[in-house]
Every structure is written in C-alpha cells, then in structure tokens.
Structure 1
Amino acid sequence: MPHAFDVVFSPNDIYCVPIPVGYECSVTQLNLKEKYYDSIRFHPCVYAQFLLCFGYHKIGNQKEFQNFLEQLQSTVEDMVNGYQRYRAYNLLGYCYYVSGNYQHAFSCFRESITIANSKMQNAAIYHLCILLMCILTEMKELSLNKAVVKFSHNVGN
C-alpha cells in the first residue's frame, strides 16, 4: 500500500473495540491532562493483521490464526520507528497470550514498555498483570493436580 492512514481510536471508544484496544483506551482515559486530546493509533497493516488473528482465534481456526500471527510478528518487527509502536507490541503480545505462548507474550509486553515514552501510560502493564495471574493460576492448578494424584496413589496402596 503506497498510501495508508493510521487506524485511530478515541479513549471513549472503549465499549466498541476488541479487548486489548479497550485496555489502550482505559489507560489513555487515566491521563487526565490529555484525556480528550490523546488518540490511540495503530498502523493499518498491524491493525488489520491483529483483527484477522483475533477473529480466527475466536472461531477456533488455529491454522489461520498462526499464519496471521506470524505475519503480525513480521510487520511489527519491520516498523522500526513507527509512531506508538509500543501499542503494536501490545496487540502482538495479546495474540501470543491467547495462543498460550506466554514467553513470547511476555517478551512483547517487555519490549512495549522498553520503547514507550516514559511519560506515556502503557497498557502493557495491565497485560503483564493478567499474564502473571494466568501463569500463577496454572501453576496452582498444576500443584493441586499433582497433590491429588499423589494422594490417590497413596490411598490406593
């Protein structure tokens, strides 16, 4: 595409956007000084590929989800100095999170925090909290399952 425009959202669009974009709207609303002047922007290719990932994940088509996830990863990496690039990493990290690839999700959110302007609030913090809670829950369930197996094995003997 030789000419393209950013996909732009207002912080007030929180109720009509996919979950990770809603997080971006939420943190933008927290910035009281710039609340009504700040906008959430995504490169059109990043946003289109994210929507395809999001949609294919929702309908359970893992093959197409993985295909577009790879494309999204490549596009985000190619956007070296893109405006609000950290938000592209948040979308990519969310896609890795829903795929169960927590290590890649963590890397994306960490990169988002690293490249974001320190004065801006970043939804990556929320994503990391959710990711860590999910990991802790899975670890707890795994520990409980091991305890139940051990208990039932001991009771059977």
Structure 2
Amino acid sequence: MTDFKDWMELASYVVTVVALPFAIIVFIIEQRRERANEEEEIYLKLADDYGSFMRLVLENADLKLRSRTRTLLDEEQTERRLAIYSILVSLFESAYMLVFEDKMNRKQQRMWQSWEDFMHEWCAREDFRDALPALLHGEDPDFVRTIERIASEEAGRQHPA
C-alpha cells in the first residue's frame, strides 16, 4: 500500500512541477491568441464600416467629397455633407476608442496608423476642418485632441506660415 501512496505522491509532485506550469503557459498563449483574434476582428469590422462609408461617399458623388476643390453646394447638399461628415467623425472616434492605446505593439501601431492616415486625408479638406468644431461636440476628449492635432497639421500644410 505504501508503494501506491509513494507513487501517488510522486505523481502529484510531477503535476505540480511540470504539468501545472505547462498548463499556465498554454493558458497564457491561448489568451494572447484570443486577444490577437479579437483585435483582428475589431480592425476588420472597422475596415468594413469604412468601406460602407466610402460607398456612401460614392452614392453622394454630387457633393464632390473626393475632390480637393471647393464646391458651392445648395442647402440640401450642405446638409447631406454635414451628415456624412458626422458619420465619418463617429467612425473615426470608434476607431480611436477601439484601436488606439498609449502603448501599442507593432501590429497595433500598423492598425492605428491606417486610421490616422484616413484622418489626415479627410482633415486635408478645408470644408471638413471647418465642420469639425460642431461635429466634435460631446466626443471623447482624447479623440478630440487627436483629431484636432491632425487637422492643425493639415491646415499648416495647406497654408505654410
């Protein structure tokens, strides 16, 4: 009977020394993999949302949202443009809230950089920058600082001092 007890005690030591740390390592690896998958899903969802937004831009081609030249719009067109810009700011804020972190790994930085590039592209439009103050009312303060910084950079590129 003592042989069985000794074997069980030895088995418990093996589990404690080998299997438990192995299980913890496997758990940590799975958690990281799951988090990476979640980040990828978030990024893909946001990319799909931006694709839908761009379809909206195409559906409203009369607003000349892809053109860099200032276009005179009637009241209804101005209202549609403002609504589209509101959707865009909401999408940018979602991207900021879901993707941006103070400390990002390389993959997270690449994901965020693509959104920052989109923000730069739109902030290069004077009419978008002009609409920003009204569109940013009530938005996340960190997001507001970020997009205002980007808008300021773009305005400086448009009108160097």
Normalising by structure 1, we get a TM-score of 0.33
User: Is the helix fraction higher in 1 or 2?
Assistant: 2
Largest Rg, 1 or 2? 2
Normalising by structure 2, we get a TM-score of 0.32
